[in-house]
Amino acid sequence: MLNRAKFLFATLSLVLWLDAGTSLAQQPPQQSSKHEQAQQKSQDPWWKHAVIYEIYPRSFQDSNGDGVGDINGITSRLDYIHDLGIDAIWISPMYPSPLIDFGYDISDYTAIDPLYGTLADFDHLVSEAKKRNIRVIMDFVPNHTSDQHPWFKESRSSRSNPKRDWYIWRDGNAMGQPPNNWQSWFGHSAWKLDPATNQYYYHHFYTEQPDLNWRNPQVRKAMYDAMRFWLKRGVAGFRIDAVSRLFEDPNLHDDPILPGKNAYGDPNIAHKYTDNLPEVHEVLREMRKVVNAYPGNPVMISEADEPNIAELAKKVQLPMDFQIADVNKLSAPDFRRLLNEIDRNAVGGQPHYFFSNHDQPRQWDRYGDGVHNDQIAKLMAALLLATRATPLMYYGEELGMRTTEPARKEDVQDPIGKIGWPEEKGRDGERTPMQWDASRNAGFSASQHPWLPVPPSASIYNVVAEAQNPKSILAFYKRLLALRRNEPALRDGRYLPLNQEDTNVLSFLRKEPGRGEAILVVLNMSAEPRTIKFDLSAHGVKGGSANPLLAAPEIGAESTQLNHFSVPAFGVFIGSVD
């Protein structure tokens, strides 16, 4: 499982794409007056203070008993999302699709798949969400369409079709083999021979997902029009899928071969000529213009593949390094190094962190040690929600939902699990139904056969049970989200790392510039209790102890003396200091 996360999505990351005008460089200087700060805050776009929650629509709530989640199901759960403390939901694709990649293979960009409902249902969702101050972010998939999209059907029909150049078509090489050695992220050659015209088309992902040709201005126009369609319906922005893959080397250079083989048995390669080409940034700028023409500060969240923070900052002027999602072990030094890099990068911007999503094994088991997983789930929640960032949660992480992989190949739904079995079991494990209660199918669906089985853990880890238990993971998330909302220092304050030599405990201050208010965050990433000493005088803190706001497990006042601070194994402490 970890192998897969590392191999397949290790370099996939999410970044908030910012206007140059909203970069950290333009935040108030440290000593700015209260008035200046208030002004700055009122100019801040909403997404800078928001918590975003990803919903995988197939798995959230089924309203019509067909075993698959749908839009009306999501609408029926908006009160839960609101009470949790979420500001915006990003919904994975719900467009018409043959569902080879469960919606990431789109056959119509301006409609809703009947499986999920209708456009009227979608409009209703947006308006009901708005009543609760929840924004709706669409998933947008520009790199490829489905092979069932009418554009591709036309394109493949003849070499002279007007839409031929909307996709990437090439002759085979002199040996009658694919044009070069480029590989799909989902295994084997990225080229597929289409007998109708005896040419190959390029697909970065599944063969049923042909890549669009973004060098063609008609493609750009059609895709920007699709974005406008949703913006007019009131969406608050887009999460843009696989954005770094938009362009390929027009000269078709072979990718460099690396040692070893991947889970699909192919030679490892560096995706040098199909990833991160500079033209991507031109497209992002154009998309930004499209989005900026609409009111309400729509956001663009991009899934990007950036090798390191310097590259990220250079190309997209952001301070983010989403390698943080892939640290994959509880390591205070590793997290500290990445948090520091992000915070200190010269270009500025707003970090956007996440640990789980529909492509990553869930954090409960990925970071859990097999013994203290529930406590570690709280620790990870604090790492996500108490650092300086716009956090992104994945449905069910607030319950401690775990990765539940299929036991047998014949149960696998995600095609990569079929191609790569048993080494690669696919992504079904992190897409199982939301666990609402202890009833059959965990309250997800009335069907006898939900599209994925409900994990056995649902009998204990579910919304109803956890809402009644003040020590549950859900109760912790709710308190933490409320704290983040109510404490400006925690939500917007600067990030000041502390005790940087400590190999076990990650500690930092969140401090509002120009104001005394500071919040101390202490995260013990080790299995032993730790006693540490803080000297916060350089940060203007005069008091000798911290006043607890949230701690798990709870600790007594004697533990919060700054010169003798005790934190239990995997303990979390958040408290105010002055």
Phi, psi of 133 (to 5 degrees): 60, 35
CA 534 from chain centre, in angstroms, equals 34
| Structural contact between residues 245 and 208, judged by C-beta atoms closer than 8 angstroms | no
Q: Build a one-symbol-per-residue string for 293-322: x at contacts with ligand NOJ by CB under 6 A, - elsewhere.
A: ----------x-------------------
Q: Which of residues 321-340 bind ligand NOJ (CB under 6 A)?
A: none
Is the Cβ of residue 101 or residue 428 nearer to ligand NOJ in the bound state?
Answer: 101
Residue 174: other Cβ atoms inside 10 A: 6
The least distance separating ligand NOJ from the CB of residue 422, rounded to whole angstroms, comes to 20
Distance CA 363, CA 389 (A): 18
Chosen residue from 58, 220, 358, 431 binding ligand NOJ by CB under 6 A: 358
Q: Build a one-symbol-per-residue string for 386-425: x at contacts with ligand NOJ by CB under 6 A, - elsewhere.
A: ----------------------------------------
Is the Cβ of residue 241 or residue 492 nearer to ligand NOJ in the bound state?
Answer: 241
Contacts with ligand NOJ: how many residues (CB under 6 A)?
Answer: 9
3-class SS letters over 298-336: CEEEEEEECCCHHHHHHHHCCCCCHHHHHCCCCCHHHHH
For residue 275, state whether it binds ligand NOJ (rule: CB under 6 A): no
Phi, psi of 416 (to 5 degrees): -65, -25
Is the Cβ of residue 8 or residue 577 nearer to ligand NOJ in the bound state?
Answer: 8
The least distance separating ligand NOJ from the CB of residue 385, rounded to whole angstroms, comes to 23
- Ranked by CB distance to ligand NOJ, the top (closest) residue is 104
Chosen residue from 51, 52, 236, 242 binding ligand NOJ by CB under 6 A: 242
309-316 and 279-292 are packed helices; what angle lies between their axes, rounded to 10 degrees? 60
Chosen residue from 205, 353, 364, 367 binding ligand NOJ by CB under 6 A: 205
Query: Helix (H, G, I), strand (E, B), or coil: what is residue 439?
Result: coil
The least distance separating ligand NOJ from the CB of residue 433, rounded to whole angstroms, comes to 18
| Structural contact between residues 391 and 426, judged by C-beta atoms closer than 8 angstroms | no
Distance CA 322, CA 342 (A): 9
Distance CA 25, CA 323 (A): 22
Distance CA 471, CA 400 (A): 12
Is the Cβ of residue 10 or residue 467 nearer to ligand NOJ in the bound state?
Answer: 10
The least distance separating ligand NOJ from the CB of residue 227, rounded to whole angstroms, comes to 17
Distance CA 102, CA 91 (A): 13
The least distance separating ligand NOJ from the CB of residue 284, rounded to whole angstroms, comes to 16
Is the Cβ of residue 10 or residue 465 nearer to ligand NOJ in the bound state?
Answer: 10
The least distance separating ligand NOJ from the CB of residue 357, rounded to whole angstroms, comes to 7
Q: Build a one-symbol-per-residue string for 73-102: x at contacts with ligand NOJ by CB under 6 A, - elsewhere.
A: ----------------------------x-
Residue with tokens 């993971």: 473
For residue 106, state whether it binds ligand NOJ (rule: CB under 6 A): no
For residue 104, state whether it binds ligand NOJ (rule: CB under 6 A): yes
Is the Cβ of residue 77 or residue 427 nearer to ligand NOJ in the bound state?
Answer: 427
Is the Cβ of residue 185 or residue 570 nearer to ligand NOJ in the bound state?
Answer: 185
Distance CA 336, CA 348 (A): 18
Phi, psi of 97 (to 5 degrees): -165, 145
The least distance separating ligand NOJ from the CB of residue 440, rounded to whole angstroms, comes to 29
Q: Which of residues 140-179 bind ligand NOJ (CB under 6 A)?
A: 141
What are the C-alpha distances in Å from 269 to residues 226, 265, 339, 394?
Answer: 34, 12, 29, 31
Chosen residue from 211, 241, 428, 487 binding ligand NOJ by CB under 6 A: 241
Is the Cβ of residue 101 or residue 487 nearer to ligand NOJ in the bound state?
Answer: 101
Residue with tokens 């092979």: 147
Tokens of residue 382, six digits: 């604090």
Q: Where are the alpha helices (DSSP H) in 426-575?
A: 463-467, 473-486, 488-492
Chosen residue from 359, 374, 405, 517 binding ligand NOJ by CB under 6 A: 359
Query: Helix (H, G, I), strand (E, B), or coil: what is residue 140?
Result: strand
> 470-485 burial, b for 16+ CB within 10 Å, e for fewer?
eebbbbbbbbbbebbe
What amino acid positions are annotated as catalytic residues?
Answer: 241, 303
Residue 195: other Cβ atoms inside 10 A: 7
The least distance separating ligand NOJ from the CB of residue 445, rounded to whole angstroms, comes to 22
Is the Cβ of residue 93 or residue 443 nearer to ligand NOJ in the bound state?
Answer: 93
* Contacting residues toward ligand NOJ, per CB under 6 A: 101, 104, 141, 205, 241-242, 303, 358-359
